[in-house]
Amino acid sequence: MGLYAKYILPKVINSTCSTKPIIKQREKVLPLCSGVVLEVGAGSGINFSLYNPDKVSMVYALEPDPEMLKQARTQAQKVELSFSFLEAGAEQIPLEDNMIDTVLLTFTLCSIPKPDLAIKEMRRVLKNSGKLIFCEHGIAPDKKVQQKQNILNLFWPYLCGGCNLNRDIPKLIEENGFKFENVETMYLPGTAHWVGFRVQPNKIEFWQDMPFRLHDRLEYKKIDNKWISKKLFP
């Protein structure tokens, strides 16, 4: 690990991910977490103080960077919540199948080296009744902004810890076992359009393959900032 990656990059990431517009988006999704939570890409623990301890029983904080994990452990001491820290990448989550109630992603899928494999791993550890909560940034809908993103992405990942500006986040998630019908998107206020296009779902459908094509299907729909679940027919 070079000096930049060890000493400078963690501070850059922490500062960038703690801006007011981004914290505002985090505040929208963290209250939706419940039960046993797996936070993928916990970083320095920016989200920790935003969990509702009345709804969340414990948090598995998954983070591959040891320097970021040190900061996260310090941050966790300020919160009245149980944490377990996992120094690992999302492509191989060191947890058993069907044990997590909520998987949380906040501005994380942009930097995971193998996002397809990581999303499959998230499905594996989620309970059949579990939910995936995410707030991400990705490819913009406007062609001119896309062009800027594609050009900047030639060097952006090398400067920003593997962050990609031009990933199609909804497509990635749907292609790897999740289904949602409504996705809330926006350009973040006070943030350059080429880096601040936010993606957040309003409705998600989970599929669990079962024998004889009798799939187990659960639908989560956000109503008044609360996720309401119902079981669907095969």
Q: What distance in Å separates the CA atoms of residue 89 and residue 72, rounded to the nearest whole number?
A: 16
Task: Give the model's pLDDT for residue 209.
Answer: 57
Task: Give the model's pLDDT for residue 225.
Answer: 65
Grade residue 102 by pLDDT with cuts at 50, 70 and 90: very high
Whether 139 shows a pLDDT value over 80: the answer reads: yes
Calculate the alpha carbon distances from 35 to 54, 78, 81, 82, 86 in Å. 9, 20, 12, 12, 18
Task: Give the model's pLDDT for residue 33.
Answer: 95
More confident residue, 202 or 142: 142
CB 202 within 8 A of CB 183: yes
Task: Give the model's pLDDT for residue 234.
Answer: 57
pTM of the predicted structure, to 2 decimals: 0.82
Task: Give the model's pLDDT for residue 154.
Answer: 93
Q: What distance in Å separates the CA atoms of residue 133 and residue 178, rounded to the nearest whole number?
A: 12
Average pLDDT score over residue span 202-217: 59
Structurally, at CATH architecture level, domain 3-232 sits in 3-Layer(aba) Sandwich (3.40)
Q: What distance in Å separates the CA atoms of residue 51 and residue 197, rounded to the nearest whole number?
A: 24
What is the chain's mean pLDDT, rounded? 86
pLDDT tens digit sequence for 150-204: 999 999 998 888 999 999 998 999 899 887 766 788 888 777 765 655 556 665 6
What residue spans define the domains of the chain?
A: 3-232
89 token code pair: 């990448």
Exposure class string for 72-111: b at 16+ Cβ within 10 A, else e: beebbeebebebebbeebbbebebeeeebbbbbbbbbbbb
Task: Give the model's pLDDT for residue 10.
Answer: 80
30-39, 72-81, 152-161, 221-230: the lowest-pLDDT one: 221-230
Whether 213 shows a pLDDT value over 70: the answer reads: no
